[in-house]
Chain A
Amino acid sequence: MAGAKEIRTKIGSIKNTSKITKAMEMVAASKMRKAQNRMAATRPYAEKMRNVIGHLFHAHPEYKHTFMIEREVKRVGYIIVSSDRGLCGGLNNNLFRKLIKVLRVHRDEGVEVDFCAIGNKALGFFGRVGGKIVSQATHLGDAPHIEDLIGTVKVMLDAYTEGTIDEIYIAYNDFVNTMTQKPTIEQLVPIPPKPDEELKHHWDYIYEPDSKEVLDNLLGRYIESLVYQAVVENGACEQSARMVAMKSASDNANSLIDELQLIYNKARQAAITQEISEIVGGAAAV
């Protein structure tokens, strides 16, 4: 039987592939756990930061920061958080697809867009699409540090302060659970005011040295912490998406192997039957 050997080789190569995907799945699973822990670790800071910002909105600073003032939109900035590597299912593509839809709306309104790419995939994609990338950060690794992001974010914030761009958004994958990652686009600046908060009485902080300097610092850090959290969350998404993708790849490989094994066995059986009938036929002829 001619096909038997080829089928055997094919089974062998698929087995090797499934070994790789299996290994990647397990690596992703352990990395995911770490990434989730990291996500939990960053949460207190973000929460406290949000509290402080919430208080600030209650307070009545004599100095109104530019990050709190809305203005007419002519140009917007997008900070796009993606993964550095592929093989993680539709994670990045889903995000980009959602983003493209929003960008189309902007284009129809005649609003121009600047990009800030975090992660190789965003850089590659928006470079190819032909967007204007003003800053980037890649190779953040499994444990991203906030100092790797400071510069990248500052470029955007400076552009906002100077008036080059009028709104900043962030696009990232929100970690819902291991199976679900939700592509999310949020407005960063101007900081969207919380609607449910009513002003009870007039009070303000004491600012040291003065309100402008403190607010500049505080709001800058607030935005940075939001971006950092998005990056960490996207990291957890990446690992869990990879784990799921690799699991389904291993499953597919296994079912393919089963199928091929069946075909191989049939082919082998057919060859044996043929040989026997040939021998019997030969013996009868003699």
Chain B
Amino acid sequence: MAMTIHVDIVSAEGEIFTGMAEMVYAPAVMGEVGIAPRHTPLVTQLKPGEVRVETEGGKEMLHFYVSGGILEIQPHVVTVLADTAIRAADLDEAAAQEAKRRAEDAMANRTSEFEYAKAQAELVEAAAQLRAIERIRKGKRG
């Protein structure tokens, strides 16, 4: 029997593939890599492309599309941490700016939802007070 290597392909939102393989091909940033069993430990980034897995017996070739991610290799285990989102430094930066802006907006304007949350908190307080008053009244009567 040919030597095999364990392959896990996972993304943050779910497991994609797990099983044994004779050979794995992945699109690393420096060029495609082919991984055979007993490969030396390696960590690399992936670029968008196809991960191919040659399953046991070499009969089948499975194809998985990844939009990037991380590839980690141990002598008997290959782990593909696939991205579900499209990543790029400037995209991430834009998202960060957006999150910051939203927080600043919420802090500065204190409008709509912010006000709503505040009003709701006050409402809960008022309701609790009313309930307490009612209870005191009932207690006096009884």
Q: Which residues of A contact B (CB under 8 A)?
A: 38, 41-42, 44-45, 48-49, 51-52, 55-56, 59, 86, 116-117, 120-121, 123-125, 127-128, 132-138, 145-147, 150-152, 154-155, 158, 203-209, 213-214, 217-218, 221, 224-225, 228
Contact = CB atoms under 8 A, between A and B. Distances in A.
Contacts of B74: 55
Nearest to B94: A151
Interface of B: 8, 10-15, 18, 28-30, 40-45, 70, 72, 74, 79, 81, 83-87, 92-100, 102-103, 106-107, 110, 113-114, 116-118, 120-121
Contacts of B98: 151
Contacts of A133: 103, 106-107
Contacts of A59: 41
Contact of B120 (A55, A86, A154): A86
B121 to A, nearest CB: 7
B99 A152 contact: yes
A48 B81 contact: yes
Contacts of B118: 124, 127-128
B122 to A, nearest CB: 10
Nearest to B80: A48
A205 B41 contact: yes
| Most chain B beta carbons < 10 A, residue from A48, A128, A152, A203 | A48
21 contacts: A38-B13, A55-B41, A123-B113, A124-B118, A128-B118, A133-B106, A134-B100, A135-B99, A135-B103, A136-B103, A138-B113, A146-B84, A147-B85, A151-B92, A151-B99, A155-B96, A155-B100, A207-B42, A209-B30, A209-B44, A221-B81
